[in-house]
Amino acid sequence: GAGVSQSPSNKVTEKGKDVELRCDPISGHTALYWYRQSLGQGLEFLIYFQGNSAPDKSGLPSDRFSAERTGGSVSTLTIQRTQQEDSAVYLCASSSHREGVAFFGQGTRLTVV
Amino acid sequence: QQQVKQSPQSLIVQKGGISIINCAYENTAFDYFPWYQQFPGKGPALLIAIRPDVSEKKEGRFTISFNKSAKQFSLHIMDSQPGDSATYFCAAPKGIKAAGNKLTFGGGTRVLVKP
């Protein structure tokens, strides 16, 4: 596709359930980021993938959060045993190895009830 | 770890006025400083970026100024319009080069332009 695609766009889940959020980066982009944004707040870094390097997981808030990137392309962010404080918009971005510009998807709005 | 400090957190400006947002970074070896604009319900979108071999870059009503000695860069929105009302984020790469290095974002500035 032309841009970064995230799915689903909205997700409502019950507390304690697991959720998976998907990100399709721009074709050929080697870097992929996940950020979390609470209502009216800034961008909270979660995890960063760059090529075949080990991912930078320093932003993951707890061991309930994990992410993988298969084949250097699609990425899945998994939140286990969701809590109400996990409610936020989860944003994915990708960038080319040659440039520093990061392109964002529209985000997945997660609501934990 | 790269830190990027952005100020102010929020800004109200009258239509036609100038909006100024400042960012300060810690490390010196970077080659790319982008600004992103985010409207409610949307992901951030690249607005304008500067490389430190120039001190200023202008695109339409948006200007980035870069002060390497002070480790600061700023965004100026000239002749601010209600359509400019959005949240603005500055960013800096972690490593020496933008390519292949994680971007660190400032905390964001919510700009409201009053008609």
Look up the CATH number of the domain holding residue A33.
2.60.40.10
Tell the CATH topology of B4-114.
Immunoglobulin-like (2.60.40)
pLDDT reported for residue A62: 95
What is d(CA A42, CA B87) in angstroms, rounded to the nearest whole number?
9
* Cβ pair B105:A95 closer than 8 A: no
What is d(CA A111, CA B97) in angstroms, rounded to the nearest whole number?
37
8 A C-beta contact, residue B50 and residue B62:
no
- Long-range CB contact pairs, A59-64, < 8 A, 24+: none
Report strand pairing: B86-93 vs A19-24.
Answer: unpaired
Q: Which of residues 14-33 of A touch B (CB under 8 A)?
A: 30-31, 33
Chain B nearest-CA residue for A48? B102
Q: Which residue has the tokens 């080697």?
A: A30
Cis, peptide link before residue A55, omega less than 30° from 0: no
* Cβ pair A31:B106 closer than 8 A: no
Residue A32 belongs to domain spanning: 5-112
List pLDDT tens digits, range A23-59: 999 998 989 999 999 987 889 999 999 888 889 999 9
8 A C-beta contact, residue B73 and residue B33:
yes
Closest CA to A97 of A67, A45, A52: A52
List pLDDT tens digits, range B31-89: 678 899 999 989 999 999 888 788 899 999 999 998 888 889 999 999 999 999 999 99
Contacts of B36 in chain A (CB under 8 A): 104
pLDDT reported for residue B104: 83
Q: Which residue has the tokens 């959020």?
A: A21
Mean pLDDT, residues B93-109 taken together: 73
pLDDT reported for residue B30: 66
Domain count for chain A: 1
What is d(CA B94, CA B56) in angstroms, rounded to the nearest whole number?
22
